[in-house]
């Protein structure tokens, strides 16, 4: 899509004040995917030169400009730490309804900021207890839990001029047992329901996250593995009609049914791993 209203592209490090019609540009695959008549200036983040991935004993920092290809390459590298967490990362990377050619350009941060309900980087970030590092034009930073970053379809907690600098995935979540289940209308189609589960710690706390079926991420957590009835009851309570997506890819009652069914599969899979 040609953004014919854009008049200027500037370096993302420019001190120019934010104005109406500005947008941050990383990979651009979401930005250029549809008409955006209100855009006048793009602020290019690629000049920052942020390292795609930074690994420490505390976990992984994923730069907002890290491409899906770079993230998937790390996740599928044998011998690197956190095999369970890396498997979930790889599964989410492969949940994109796009070709591998797009993965070479699309970024993890861009997918989060696009805030599409089926955004797989949102699923990954929430499942692995991620923290979003948000930066303002004045350099001030704040931390936002990934589960709270997306506020609705196409909307986030970012204020005008703020950008997503990186996503941090903690080592504890990466080391825990994790599982992902997904349904789409066809093999490479958009997710209509994506459920992740993570179980770790001495008590075996289990957290289930629902995305794609909902307008924003929904999580439920249990001190230990719940019974099937307990899991179903908590999920039905946490998935009211107003939070369920209703579009051409699936109706709300069907999405809720899929979310509960996939959550039961996640619970069973994690119970077997203990």
Of the residues 116, 147, 172, the one at which a domain ends: 172
- Kindly report the number of other CB atoms within 10 A of residue 124's CB atom: 33
CATH assignment at residue 193: 3.30.390.50
Residue 23 included in any domain: no
**CATH number for 68:** 3.30.465.10
The answer to whether position 202 is within a domain reads yes
Three-state secondary structure call for residue 17: coil
Reference 191, options 255, 257, 271, 239; nearest CA is 255
Structural domain that includes position 57: 53-172
What pLDDT score was predicted for residue 109? 97
Q: Is residue 26 part of a domain?
A: no
Question: pLDDT truncated to tens, each residue of the chain (274 aa)?
Answer: 678 889 999 999 999 999 999 999 999 998 888 888 999 999 999 999 999 999 999 999 999 999 999 999 999 999 999 999 999 999 999 998 777 778 899 999 999 999 999 999 999 999 999 999 999 999 999 999 999 999 999 999 999 999 999 999 999 999 999 999 999 987 777 899 999 999 986 567 999 999 999 999 999 999 988 999 999 999 999 999 999 999 988 999 999 999 999 999 999 999 876 5
**Ramachandran quadrant class, 176 (left: phi over 0; alpha: psi -120 to 50; beta: rest):** beta
Rounded Cα gap, residues 3 and 37, in angstroms: 7
Are 154 and 247 contained in the same domain?
A: no
d(CA 119, CA 108): 10
> What is the pLDDT, as a whole number, of residue 102?
86
Q: Which pLDDT belongs to residue 130?
A: 98
Same domain, 152 and 195: no
Number of domains the chain contains: 2
Q: Say what the pTM is.
A: 0.94
- H/E element holding 143? strand 141-145
């Amino acid at each position: 899509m040609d953004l014919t209203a854009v008049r200027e592209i500037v370096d993302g490090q420019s001190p120019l004040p934010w104005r109406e019609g500005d947008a941050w540009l990383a990979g651009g695959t979401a930005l250029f995917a549809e008409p955006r008549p209100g855009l006048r200036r793009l602020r290019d983040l690629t000049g920052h030169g942020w390292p795609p991935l930074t690994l420490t004993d505390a976990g992984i920092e994923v730069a907002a400009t890290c491409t899906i290809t770079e993230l998937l390459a790390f996740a599928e590298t044998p011998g690197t730490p956190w095999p369970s967490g890396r498997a979930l990362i790889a599964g989410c990377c492969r949940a994109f309804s796009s070709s591998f050619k797009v993965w070479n350009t699309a970024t993890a941060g861009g997918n989060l900021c696009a805030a599409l309900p089926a955004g797989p980087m949102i699923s990954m970030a929430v499942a692995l207890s991620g923290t979003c590092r948000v930066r303002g034009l004045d350099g001030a930073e704040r931390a936002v839990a990934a589960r709270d970053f997306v506020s609705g379809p196409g909307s986030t907690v970012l204020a005008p001029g703020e950008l997503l600098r990186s996503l941090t995935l903690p080592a504890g979540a990466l080391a825990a047992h994790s599982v992902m289940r997904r349904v789409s209308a066809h093999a490479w189609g958009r997710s209509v329901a994506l459920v992740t589960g993570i179980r770790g710690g001495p008590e075996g706390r289990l957290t289930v996250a629902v995305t794609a079926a909902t307008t924003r991420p929904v999580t439920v957590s249990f001190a230990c593995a719940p019974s099937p009835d307990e899991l179903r009851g908590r999920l039905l309570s946490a998935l009211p009609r107003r939070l369920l997506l209703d579009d051409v890819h699936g109706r709300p009652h069907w999405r809720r049914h899929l979310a509960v069914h996939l959550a039961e599969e996640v619970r069973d899979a994690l119970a077997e791993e203990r």
